[in-house]
């Protein structure tokens, strides 16, 4: 989601040094991005003391920067930016806006929503030359970096329909039986092979869907690195999944996306960005109940996902492929 800001910084200020402090579990996303000079990787899943030790060791190697851009504005990032640069720029995280959506269920038009990749630019409001472009997200692979080529030029016709059924929180995951029925419907009306993708945490989920489908479906969850998944996406007609990180990877590879929103809503700004897409989100009085997801529906009915039928999703898939 940060790649548009990095690209604009690099093109506007081509001679500056751009370093990034990044969590280890996210580092693969930026590994080959040509806009970044140095990645400083921290294992943020270790203890607070260990994170502090890592940071102090990294900071010893850093110069005094002219600008530090904080795109988290968390307790940890506020600590890390102390003494780091001559000027600190902090993006507008829209916390009050998010709280209002969750607490008061405020309804606003989707067209008026500021996408998160654009919201990051608010950190640099004092620099009017730094303005968003229209080129979308980027997820650079090694071969893209070698060829210095982005966006991707697909040389082969699409082959697969990909399904990414995982999400970190349960209330952001469409039910297994719905994915199973969707696969059965897709197999009857489209010739493309269907494949399940995801990370190590999604293996059991994907195997269960594969076994319950009773049709031919390939299972790759846990078998590919994030870079391999992104490369595989280049062969897809479209990707179907929940409001999750893989949907943004697909958008960064400029692949059509169908995104299902359960307990969250697109109005938080995490919509597919600058790629053909379909959004499926039911307008229920209890939505959103959270801005990140929960482990169970607080009201017990989980209608936000259960009431999205496989037939509804199929119609969106066929429309997106046709268009």
User: Could you report the per-residue pLDDT of 119-169, keeping only the tens digit for each?
Assistant: 999 999 999 999 999 899 999 999 888 887 787 777 778 999 999 999 999
Average pLDDT over residues 1-29: 96
Q: Is residue 212 part of a domain?
A: yes
Least Cα distance to 234 among 256, 216, 219, 218 occurs for 256
Place of tokens 């929960």: 294
pLDDT of residue 122: 95
Question: Do 241 and 296 sit in the same domain of this protein?
Answer: yes
- If asked whether residues 109 and 165 sit together in one domain, one would say no
Q: Rounded distance, CA 248 to CA 122, Å?
A: 20
Instruction: Encode pLDDT of 188-235 as tens digits.
Output: 999 999 999 999 999 999 999 999 999 999 999 999 999 999 999 999
**Taking the mean position of all CA atoms in its chain, how far away is CA 201?**
16
Q: What is the pLDDT of residue 89?
A: 97
pLDDT at 247 over 90: yes
Domain CATH code at residue 103: 3.40.50
| pLDDT at site 22 | 96
Residue 212 CB: number of other CB atoms within 10 A? 15
Predicted confidence (pLDDT) at residue 33 exceeds the cutoff of 80? yes
d(CA 97, CA 103) in angstroms, rounded, equals: 10
Confidence (pLDDT) at 108 = 82
Does residue 233 sit within a domain? yes
In this structure, of 33-42, 91-100, 242-251, 303-312, the range with the lowest mean pLDDT score is 91-100
Tell me what pLDDT residue 305 has: 97
**Structure confidence by residue, pLDDT tens digits, 263-296:** 999 999 999 999 999 999 999 999 999 989 999 9
pTM, whole model, 2 decimals? Answer: 0.91
In the prediction, which pLDDT does 94 show? Answer: 85
Token pair 């991707």 is found at 152
Residue 228's pLDDT is 96
Q: Considering its fold, how many domains does the chain have in total?
A: 2
Q: Is residue 155 part of a domain?
A: no
Distance CA 117, CA 169 (A): 22
Instruction: State which residues form the domain around 221.
Output: 160-322
Same domain, 139 and 169: no
- The answer to the question of residue 38 being in a domain is yes
pLDDT value for 118: 95
How confident is the model at residue 154, as a pLDDT?
Answer: 74
pLDDT tens per residue across span 46-97: 999 999 999 999 999 999 999 999 999 999 999 999 999 999 999 998 888 8
Which two three-digit tokens encode residue 272?
A: 């597919």
Same domain, 138 and 174: no
**H or E element that contains 237:** strand 236-242
Give the least confident one: 37-41, 101-105, 125-129: 101-105
Spatial distance between the Cα atoms of 77 and 79, rounded to a whole number of angstroms: 5
Q: What is the pLDDT of residue 103?
A: 93
Is 154 a member of any domain?
no
* Inter-helix orientation angle 176-189/203-213, to 10°: 50
Are 262 and 286 within one domain?
yes
């Amino acid at each position: 989601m940060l790649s548009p800001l990095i690209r604009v910084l690099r093109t506007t200020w081509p001679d500056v040094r751009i370093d990034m402090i990044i969590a280890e579990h996210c580092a693969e996303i930026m590994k080959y991005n040509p806009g970044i000079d140095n990645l400083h990787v921290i294992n943020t899943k270790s203890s607070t003391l260990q994170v502090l030790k890592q940071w102090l060791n990294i900071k010893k190697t850093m110069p005094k920067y002219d600008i530090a851009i904080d795109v988290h504005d968390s307790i940890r990032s506020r600590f890390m930016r102390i003494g780091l640069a001559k000027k600190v720029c902090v993006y507008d995280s829209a916390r009050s806006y998010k709280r209002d959506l969750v607490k008061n269920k405020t309804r606003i038009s989707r067209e008026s929503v500021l996408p998160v990749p654009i919201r990051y630019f608010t950190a640099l409001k004092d620099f009017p030359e730094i303005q968003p472009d229209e080129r979308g997200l980027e997820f650079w692979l090694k071969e893209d970096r070698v060829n210095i080529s982005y966006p991707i030029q697909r040389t082969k016709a699409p082959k697969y329909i990909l399904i990414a059924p995982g999400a970190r929180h349960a209330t952001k995951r469409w039910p297994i039986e719905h994915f199973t029925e969707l696969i059965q419907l897709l197999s009857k009306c489209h010739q493309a092979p269907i494949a399940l993708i995801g990370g190590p945490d999604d293996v059991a989920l994907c195997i269960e869907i594969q076994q319950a489908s009773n049709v031919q479906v390939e299972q790759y969850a846990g078998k590919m690195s994030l870079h391999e998944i992104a490369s595989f996406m280049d062969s897809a007609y479209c990707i179907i999944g929940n409001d999750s990180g893989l949907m943004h990877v697909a958008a960064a590879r400029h692949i059509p996306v169908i995104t299902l929103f359960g307990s969250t809503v697109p109005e938080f700004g995490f919509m597919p960005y600058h790629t053909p897409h379909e959004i499926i989100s039911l307008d229920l009085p209890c939505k959103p109940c959270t801005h990140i997801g929960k482990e169970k529906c607080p009201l017990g009915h989980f209608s936000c996902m259960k009431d999205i039928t496989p037939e509804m999703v199929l119609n969106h898939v066929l429309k997106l492929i046709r268009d």
